[in-house]
């Protein structure tokens, strides 16, 4: 063998070795190349969760090795429990299925909801584009300006049903702040309650997400058509200025812990997850892709255009910690939550 031939042979072996190493180093790309990934959404089409899922589907493929196609499948039912049960027990566990669920289902087993047949600590949590800050909102003609006013005056607050999320938060604030909000069920959606406020039929609403108000009634606060009395959630929102923050108003340690656990859904925002049992490297790749998507200027521009909040992205590890903390709450706290949830 000539020296030149030997050099060529060595280079050929090196190239082949590098090619094999490259292939071995990209199992994620090998799996996702040419594949379709389904995002199961726990709501019907057209709402905020569905809109967010479709925005993510348009952009996340560019951040996943192999550049798979993403599609959205709606699976509404039982306040998100139907889809969450499916993702836990029936969805493919190979990384080809993920979910975007409402923030309430992860706490349903803690509340003792029998229909919730899943363990939220076993999901592979991916992340959320935002956290939610809620507020008690009253119409401008109602003579309520402070928390003390809410304590002194009985107010008529709308909700969809006695066991709905707004009703739960109304009872929670009554129990921890001493307010006198009377929950009036029968308003199918928040918009129906808002119209009732304009008619003078209701004084207000006990749980309005700032993100929802910004997209549906963006001028209400600025034009002082409605006022926020208190705000609550995992963190205080600067956009609400000096509106009091509920955790700052509570001194009893048991009440503080109760609020922390009760606010778990707000801390989860609009959570995305993968079923249990998905290979760890595919979970890690999807977590990275999701956070890169949230930071993608094109995605952010798309989200802003359609009125979606991407105000505080959190990773999957953070979401799991929030859920685990809730499930480690003392039995006395869990008992109080269950009582508030099922009066």
pLDDT digits (tens, 9 = 90+) for 84-100: 999 999 999 999 999 99
pLDDT digits (tens, 9 = 90+) for 187-202: 988 889 999 999 999 9
pLDDT of residue 5: 54
> Has residue 124 got a pLDDT over 70?
yes
Query: Is 173 in the same domain as 259?
Result: yes
Decide the pairing of beta strands 272-274 and 97-100. Answer: antiparallel
> Is residue 142 a part of any domain in this protein?
yes
Query: Is 233 in the same domain as 147?
Result: yes
Query: Is 41 in the same domain as 120?
Result: yes
25 or 180: whose pLDDT is higher?
180
> Has residue 178 got a pLDDT over 90?
yes
Indicate the number of domains in the chain.
2
Q: Quick count: other Cβ atoms within 10 Å of Cβ 18?
A: 10
Q: Which of 247, 264, 281 is the last residue of a domain?
A: 264
pLDDT of residue 22: 47
Query: Is 138 in the same domain as 85?
Result: no
- Residue environment code for 54-91, b if the CB has 16+ CB neighbours within 10 A, otherwise e: bbbbebbbebbbbebebebebbbbebbbebbbbbbeeb
pLDDT digits (tens, 9 = 90+) for 49-64: 899 999 999 999 999 9
Query: Is 106 in the same domain as 153?
Result: no
Burial of 198 (0-12, 13-18, 19+ CB in 10 A): middle
pLDDT of residue 214: 83
CATH code of the domain covering residue 118: 3.40.190.150
Q: What is the percent of the chain where pLDDT is above 90?
A: 79
Query: Is 144 in the same domain as 166?
Result: yes
pLDDT of residue 10: 53
Tokens of 76: 């509404």
> Is residue 19 a part of any domain in this protein?
no
Q: What mean pLDDT do residues 86-115 have?
A: 96
pLDDT digits (tens, 9 = 90+) for 228-275: 999 999 999 999 999 999 999 999 999 999 999 999 999 999 999 999
Query: Is 175 in the same domain as 234?
Result: yes
Q: What is the percent of the chain where pLDDT is above 70?
A: 93
Query: Is 112 in the same domain as 33?
Result: yes
Mean pLDDT of the chain: 92
CB 249 within 8 A of CB 219: no
> Is residue 245 a part of any domain in this protein?
yes
pLDDT of residue 21: 47
Query: Looking at beta carbons, which pairs linking 297-305 to residues 24 or more positions away fall under 8 Å?
Result: 298/59, 299/55, 299/56, 299/58, 299/59, 302/55, 302/58, 302/59, 303/52, 303/55, 303/129
CATH code of the domain covering residue 151: 3.40.190.10
> Is residue 4 a part of any domain in this protein?
no
Q: What mean pLDDT do residues 13-23 have?
A: 49
Question: Which domain covers residue 44, as residue numbers?
Answer: 27-130+269-341
* Cα gap 39→36, rounded to integer Å: 10
Q: Which of 223, 242, 264 is the last residue of a domain?
A: 264
> Is residue 85 a part of any domain in this protein?
yes
Tokens of 316: 């999957």
pLDDT of residue 188: 84
> Is residue 210 a part of any domain in this protein?
yes
pLDDT digits (tens, 9 = 90+) for 3-12: 555 545 555 5
Q: What mean pLDDT do residues 151-159 have?
A: 96
Q: What mean pLDDT do residues 36-58 have?
A: 93
> Has residue 216 got a pLDDT over 90?
no
Query: Is 221 in the same domain as 282?
Result: no
Query: Is 252 in the same domain as 225?
Result: yes
In this structure, the dihedral spanned by the alpha carbons of residues 271, 340, 88 and 319, taken in order and rounded to 10 degrees, is 30
Q: Which of 202, 233, 264 is the last residue of a domain?
A: 264
> Is residue 247 a part of any domain in this protein?
yes
> Is residue 10 a part of any domain in this protein?
no
CB 289 within 8 A of CB 64: yes
Query: Is 237 in the same domain as 159?
Result: yes
Supply the pTM of this predicted model: 0.87
Query: Is 252 in the same domain as 289?
Result: no
3-state secondary structure of 199: helix
């Amino acid at each position: 063998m000539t020296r030149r031939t030997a050099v060529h042979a060595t280079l050929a072996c090196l190239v082949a070795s590098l090619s094999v190493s490259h292939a071995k180093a990209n199992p994620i790309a090998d799996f996702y190349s040419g594949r379709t990934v389904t995002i199961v959404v726990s709501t019907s089409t057209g709402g905020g969760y569905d809109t967010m899922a479709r925005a993510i589907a348009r952009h996340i493929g560019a951040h996943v090795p192999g550049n798979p196609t993403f599609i959205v499948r709606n699976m509404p039912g039982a306040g998100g429990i139907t889809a969450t049960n499916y993702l836990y027990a029936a969805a493919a566990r190979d990384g080809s299925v993920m979910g975007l669920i409402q923030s309430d289902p992860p706490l349903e087993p803690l509340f003792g909801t029998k229909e919730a047949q899943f363990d939220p600590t076993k999901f592979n949590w991916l992340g959320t584009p935002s956290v939610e800050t809620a507020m008690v909102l009253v119409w401008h003609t109602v003579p309520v300006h402070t928390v003390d006013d809410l304590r002194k005056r009985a107010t008529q607050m709308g909700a969809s049903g006695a066991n709905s999320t707004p009703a739960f938060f109304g009872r929670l604030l009554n129990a921890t702040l001493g307010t006198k909000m009377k929950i009036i069920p029968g308003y199918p959606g928040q918009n129906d309650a808002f119209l009732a406020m304009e008619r003078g039929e209701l004084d207000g609403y006990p749980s309005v997400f700032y993100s929802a108000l910004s997209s549906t009634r963006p001028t209400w606060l600025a034009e002082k058509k409605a006022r926020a009395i208190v705000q609550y959630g995992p963190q205080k929102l600067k956009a609400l200025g000096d509106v009091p923050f509920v955790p700052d108003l509570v001194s009893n340690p048991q009440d503080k812990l109760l609020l922390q656990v009760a606010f778990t859904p707000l801390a989860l925002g609009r959570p995305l997850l993968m079923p249990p049992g998905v290979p760890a490297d595919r979970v890690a790749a999807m977590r990275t892709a999701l956070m890169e998507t949230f930071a993608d200027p094109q995605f952010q521009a798309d989200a802003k255009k359609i009125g979606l909040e991407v105000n505080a992205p959190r990773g999957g590890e953070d979401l799991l910690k929030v859920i685990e903390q809730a499930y480690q709450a003392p039995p006395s706290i869990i008992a109080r939550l269950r009582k508030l949830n099922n009066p």
